[in-house]
C-alpha cells in the first residue's frame, strides 16, 4: 500500500491527520503539485484527473478523493471511530463534514485558485469569482463561530473527521490570506484546540 | 420522521431515489424554494442554512445534506447496499460519488445559479463564473463518457449511490440548458439505463 501525498496541500493533510488519529502508518510518496508532477503520465495512471492524494492498494486498485481514502481506513480500523458508530452519529458527522467542505473549503479553494498569482499557471483564473468568494468564506466563518459556541468539538461532543476538515480549512484559508476574524472568539479557540493535538503536525 | 423535500430540486431527488431503491417510505413535506419557504424562520429551525432536504428524526434531531441523510438510511437498512459492503467497495463508491458531485454537479450548479435569470433573486450572481463553468461541465461529461465505456454502472458492476448522483447531475444540467453532447454515446446510453429504472420517477 502506498499513499501518494503532497505535504503542503490541504486534502492529503486530511488523510494524514486521520491516519495519525487512528494510529495507522502508511508509506507515502510525494507528488509535487507545484512542479507539475501530478500532471505526468505515470501519475495519471493512479489518478486520472491528477488529484492528490491517491491511495494505491496492494491489489493495484487506486482510490482518489481524500474522504474516500478515510472511509477505507475507517472500515478497516473502526477504532477510534472518526466517522460514527451508529446511524445517527454517521449522519450527523457527515452533515458537519460536508458543511465544512462544501460551504467553507470550496470557497477558500476558489478564492485561492482564481486569485493567487502562484495558481495562474495551473488554473484558468476567473478573478471575479475569487473576489466574490472571499467575503462568502468570511461570512461562513462567522456562522461557524456561532455553531461552536459552548462546544469543544463541532458535533457529538467528540473528535471526528468533521473537526479534521475544520482544521484543514482554517490553515488552508491562510493561503489566500484569509484569517479567522479576531472577533470570532469561539472559532479561534476551536482552532487552537484542534491545532494543539499531536495529529495537527501529521 | 419527516423529510423536508422540494420535488423539482436535485438534492432532495437524490434522497428520494435512494429511498425508492431501498424500498423505504418516509412522509415528506414540501418546502417551496422558488417561493422562499426555505428562508422562513420556522424552516431555519430545522435547517439553519436553508438547505433542502432536511430529515427530522423522531427524537427531534435534524439532518441536512442529502448524502448525510442517505448514510443514515444505509446504516439502518443495509440491504440493498448502495454505499458498499466492505472497505474497498465503500471507498470506490465514495470516490465515484464525489467525482460526480464535486467535478460535475457543482459546476452545473454554478452555471445555473450564477447565470439563470430565475436565480437572480436568490443569488448574488457572478456571470463570469457561470460562463466559465459551462465549458468545464461539458469537458467533464466527455471525461465521464470515457469512464463509462463498456460498463453498465460507474463502478463495481452494480447500482450504487454514485449512479444516483450521476442521474441527478444529467437532469439538473438541463436547467442551465446543458445537454449530454450527442457524441457522448456511452454517457447517453448510461443516462437512458438510469432513467429507465422505476426509482428515476421518485
**pLDDT per position as a tens digit, B21-78:** 999 999 999 999 989 999 999 999 999 999 999 999 999 999 999 999 999 999 999 9
Are residues B35 and B109 located together in one domain of the fold?
A: no
CA distance A88 to A13: 27
Interface of A with B in 113-172 (CB under 8 A): 124, 126, 128-129, 132, 143
pLDDT at B122 over 90: no
Of B152, B157, B151, B144, the residue nearest B184 (C-alpha)? B144
Q: Does A200 touch chain B (CB under 8 A)?
A: no
Which stretches of A23-160 are DSSP H helices?
41-46, 66-76, 87-100, 106-113, 127-147
Residues of A in contact with B64 (CB under 8 A): 95, 99
The DSSP H or E segment spanning B161 is: helix B161-172
Mean pLDDT value across residues B92-112: 97
Are residues A95 and A64 located together in one domain of the fold?
A: no
Tell me, yes or no, whether A81 lies in a domain. Answer: no
**CATH at residue B134:** 1.20.1050.10
How big is chain A, counted in residues?
202
Are residues A53 and A118 located together in one domain of the fold?
A: no
pLDDT at A122: 82
Do the Cβ atoms of B57 and B1 come closer than 8 Å?
Answer: yes
Tell me, yes or no, whether B82 lies in a domain. Answer: no
Confidence at A93, pLDDT banded by 50, 70, 90: very high
Domain span including residue B95: 87-201
Are residues A64 and A144 located together in one domain of the fold?
A: no
Helices B127-147 and B106-113 cross at an angle (nearest 10°) of: 150
pLDDT at B72: 98
Count of domains forming chain B: 2
Q: Which cell numbers hold the place of B14?
A: 437524490
Do the Cβ atoms of B129 and A126 come closer than 8 Å?
Answer: yes
pLDDT at A47 over 90: yes
Residue A17: cis peptide before it, omega within 30 degrees of 0: no
Residues of B in contact with A135 (CB under 8 A): none
To 5 degrees, how large is the angle CA B80–CA B82–CA B85?
80
Q: What is the pLDDT of residues B138-197, one digit of tens each?
A: 999 999 999 999 999 999 999 999 999 999 999 999 999 999 999 999 999 999 999 999
Last residue of a domain, one of A76, A100, A119: A76
Last residue of a domain, one of B20, B50, B76: B76
Are residues B94 and B159 located together in one domain of the fold?
A: yes
Q: Does B61 touch chain A (CB under 8 A)?
A: yes
Helices A66-76 and B87-100 cross at an angle (nearest 10°) of: 160
- CB within 8 Å: A128 and B126: yes
Residues of B in contact with A73 (CB under 8 A): 87
Interface of A with B in 28-47 (CB under 8 A): none
- CA of B97, closest CA in chain A: separation in Å? 9
Last residue of a domain, one of A76, A106, A121: A76
Query: Cα Rg for chain B, rounded, in angstroms?
Result: 17
Q: Which cell numbers hold the place of A22?
A: 487512528
pLDDT at B22: 98
Q: Does A103 touch chain B (CB under 8 A)?
A: yes
pTM of the model: 0.97
Tell me, yes or no, whether B156 lies in a domain. Answer: yes
Are residues A91 and A187 located together in one domain of the fold?
A: yes
Amino acid at each position: 500500500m502506498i499513499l501518494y501525498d503532497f505535504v503542503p496541500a490541504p486534502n492529503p493533510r486530511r488523510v494524514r491527520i486521520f491516519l495519525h488519529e487512528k494510529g495507522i502508518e502508511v508509506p507515502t510518496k510525494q507528488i509535487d503539485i507545484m512542479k507539475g508532477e501530478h500532471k505526468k503520465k505515470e501519475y495519471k495512471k493512479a489518478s486520472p484527473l491528477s488529484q492528490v492524494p491517491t491511495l494505491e492498494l496492494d491489489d493495484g486498485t487506486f482510490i482518489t478523493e481524500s474522504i474516500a481514502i478515510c472511509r477505507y481506513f475507517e472500515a478497516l480500523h473502526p477504532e477510534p471511530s472518526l466517522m460514527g458508530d451508529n446511524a445517527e452519529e454517521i449522519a450527523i458527522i457527515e452533515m458537519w463534514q460536508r458543511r465544512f467542505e462544501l460551504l467553507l473549503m470550496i470557497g477558500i479553494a476558489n478564492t485561492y485558485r482564481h486569485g493567487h498569482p502562484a495558481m495562474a499557471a495551473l488554473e484558468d483564473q476567473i478573478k471575479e469569482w475569487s473576489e466574490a468568494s472571499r467575503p462568502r468564506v468570511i461570512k461562513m466563518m462567522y456562522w461557524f463561530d456561532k455553531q461552536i459556541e459552548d462546544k469543544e468539538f463541532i458535533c457529538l461532543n467528540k473528535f471526528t473527521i468533521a473537526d479534521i476538515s475544520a482544521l484543514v480549512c482554517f490553515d488552508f484559508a491562510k493561503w489566500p490570506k484569509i484569517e479567522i476574524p479576531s472577533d470570532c472568539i469561539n472559532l479561534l479557540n476551536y482552532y487552537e484546540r484542534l491545532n494543539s493535538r499531536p495529529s495537527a503536525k501529521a
